[in-house]
Structure 1
Amino acid sequence: MKVALIGAGYIAGRHAAALTGLGCEIVGYVGRSGARSGRAYRDTAELLAHEEVDAAWVCVPPHAHGEIEHTLIDHGVPFYVEKPIGNDLDVPRRIAASIHSGLIVGAGYYWRGMEVIPELRRMLAETPPHLVRAAWHGLVPPVPWWRVEAESGGQVVEQATHLYDLARFLLGEAQVVHAVARHSPVPDHPDLDVATVSAATLTFDSGPLAVFTATCVLHATVDAGIEFHCEGRKLTLTNKVLRREDADGTHETPIGRDPLVIADERFLTAVREQDPRHLVCDYADALRTQELCCRVRDAAKEA
């Protein structure tokens, strides 16, 4: 399959490696960070004018979405868009309204694709959670756009969104009960205007109460995961393991293959078979996660 990369940063590099390993030919890319493979183009329209493309991967900062997706839609090119799908709601909603029936469009919520998710879902069905606690506690990423809320959308929208999405995926829709955020100066990043700490309380339609926290004041990502407190046991998922703690002790299961690769593989299958059921996450579902994260961010501003 001939594919293109729109964006040439870190996450595009991960997809490039995955796609090459899955047998794809990367025919071109758009981006300023240097070639991953294929020929370089100034924009999506120029790339599509010169290359035969079966599918495209959109790996750009949150504020850069819009024209790229509309160009791909106009040309009927299936595409996979990395999370988050925007820095706010207007652009993603317009894109969602423009996606015509039959066009395969996936989104990069690849935590859903972890090989341990079916086992986690089975255990949650056995003992439904009463309390959910999720945390993304880390550092300020090195890319300058992340530090500016108008470009990134803030930490909840850009980073902790993986946890909000996974909770939605496993528990259903949620209501925001309360949210609060604070900004503290970070000496190494004087231009940073995103909230440096945030906390939100949610209730899920399936029953549990949830608390989500995020911070970017640390030296590294020391905590990125979600906990489910159930009758008699605690289940924890990180990007490395699924952990069960109960009366029998602690048991850990590695998450398995790289879920980003799994998500790419399933997107390729969806395109080949013209069947969106293979997708880890489609655009419409990603939009619902975007809406939830924006509600949390905006509620915190009003607190």
Structure 2
Amino acid sequence: MRAALVGTGYIAGRHAEALTGLGVEIVGHVGRAAPERAARWGGRPYATTAGLLAAEEVDAAWVCVPPDAHGDIEFALIGRGVPFYVEKPVGVDLATPRRIAAALAERGTTACAGYYWRAAEVVPELRRMLAETPPHLVRAAWHGSVPPAPWWRVAARGGGQVVEQATHLVDLARFLLGEAEVLHAVSRHSALPVHPDLDVATVSAATLRFASGAVGTFTATPVLHATVDAGIEFCCEGRRLTLTNRVLRREDASGVHEVPIGRDPLVIADERFLAAVRRGEPGLVVCDYADAVRTQELCCRVRDFGAPGGEEPDPV
């Protein structure tokens, strides 16, 4: 399998490490740090996706770019029939992702999105317990600090914390509970002297109602010193179930029981995408592109409803 990486940031590095560990040959990198990445992970550096595709035989590509950079990259890959794995979120808004989804459907190209929380080894057990005792209340929170990437601080480039970061939790809730409607949302921006260019909401809160009947509250803030709370909990009859990026926790009358999440779910998501490409079975991916667009739609509804002066968007 010959793979290309478009983007040279942190998450591209994680995928490069995973792919080399899975025996994949990386033939090219696109991005400002492409020469350094090529020296470390193999392959050749390129300035553009088009240049890479013109020079290399590529079986699959990983698109790991800032949210505002989506569009031309994906269309170039679709035009060449190259399956791709795109990191979340799939854009800063809805227009470009919907155009990409339409092109994928027309061409039949395999594509998935990096909602790898779904891939955690404990998720099937969580789903089983939720079926056994359906949740009444869902609480999800992403309370942390401002990431180091400069684009993250600018709403027009990153989309804001709900769209770019807490989207993992929104997606997992959709995956487990079905579609949701936004009942209410609110956000606020406060200046952070240490980040004078930051214009994204520094507090976001939303109330959602899921197809399962459960009601959920979702909150996000980047004002802390580190990520101190990133997870989702389900209040069920007689017990509470909580998933973080480290453990699945069950709390009931018998006490507290914790199970580690297992192998790195990002690696598992890469494995499943590779299997989908090799076998020609798109259904093997963790999250297909069309489903990722539905998560994008829900996150945008939360963000736009919660914006100062915002009103509930029209249903999609």
Following superposition of structure 1 onto structure 2, how do residues 1-12 of structure 1 map, counting pairs within 5 Å?
A: 1-12=1-12
- Indicate the residue corresponding to 1:279 in structure 2: 285
- Indicate the residue corresponding to 2:255 in structure 1: 249
User: Is structure 2 residue 86 aligned with structure 1 residue 81?
Assistant: yes
Q: Which of 216, 228, 232 is the matching residue for 2:234? A: 228
Following superposition of structure 1 onto structure 2, how do residues 94-109 of structure 1 map, counting pairs within 5 Å?
A: 94-99=99-104, 100-109=106-115
Query: Structure 1 residues 151-160 or 29-38, which shifts more?
Result: 29-38
Following superposition of structure 1 onto structure 2, how do residues 1-303 of structure 1 map, counting pairs within 5 Å?
A: 1-34=1-34, 35-37=36-38, 38-99=43-104, 100-301=106-307, 302=310
For 2:248, give the aligned amino acid.
L
Secondary structure in 2 matching 1:36: helix
Q: CA deviation at 1:102?
A: 3.3
For 1:130, give the aligned amino acid.
H
**C-alpha offsets along residues 70-95 of structure 1, whole Å, 9 cap, x if unaligned?**
00000000000000000111100110
Secondary structure in 1 matching 2:52: helix
TM value normalised by structure 2: 0.95
Q: Percent identity?
A: 75
Conservation of the 8 A alpha-carbon contact between 2:78 and 2:107: no
Q: CA deviation at 1:245?
A: 0.0
Paired residues, number:
303
- Separation in 1, partners of 2:207, 2:99: 29
Q: CA deviation at 1:42?
A: 1.1
Secondary structure in 1 matching 2:37: coil
- Separation in 2, partners of 1:69, 1:139: 30
**C-alpha offsets along residues 111-155 of structure 1, whole Å, 9 cap, x if unaligned?**
000000000000000000000000000000001000000000000
- Separation in 1, partners of 2:172, 2:201: 22
For 2:131, give the aligned amino acid.
A
- Separation in 2, partners of 1:40, 1:56: 14
Conservation of the 8 A alpha-carbon contact between 1:102 and 1:274: no
**C-alpha offsets along residues 150-200 of structure 1, whole Å, 9 cap, x if unaligned?**
000000000000000000000000000000000111111000000000100
For 1:234, give the aligned amino acid.
R
For 2:74, give the aligned amino acid.
E
**C-alpha offsets along residues 223-260 of structure 1, whole Å, 9 cap, x if unaligned?**
00000000000000000000000001000000000000
For 1:253, give the aligned amino acid.
V
Q: CA deviation at 1:276?
A: 1.1
| Structure 2 gap ranges (5+) | 312-316
- Separation in 2, partners of 1:142, 1:93: 29
TM value normalised by structure 1: 0.99
Which aligned runs of 4 or more in structure 1 are off by greater than 3 angstroms? Answer: none
Q: CA deviation at 1:33?
A: 2.6
Q: CA RMSD in A?
A: 0.7
| Structure 1 gap ranges (5+) | none
For 2:161, give the aligned amino acid.
Q
**C-alpha offsets along residues 55-111 of structure 1, whole Å, 9 cap, x if unaligned?**
000000000000000000000000000000001111001100101353110100000
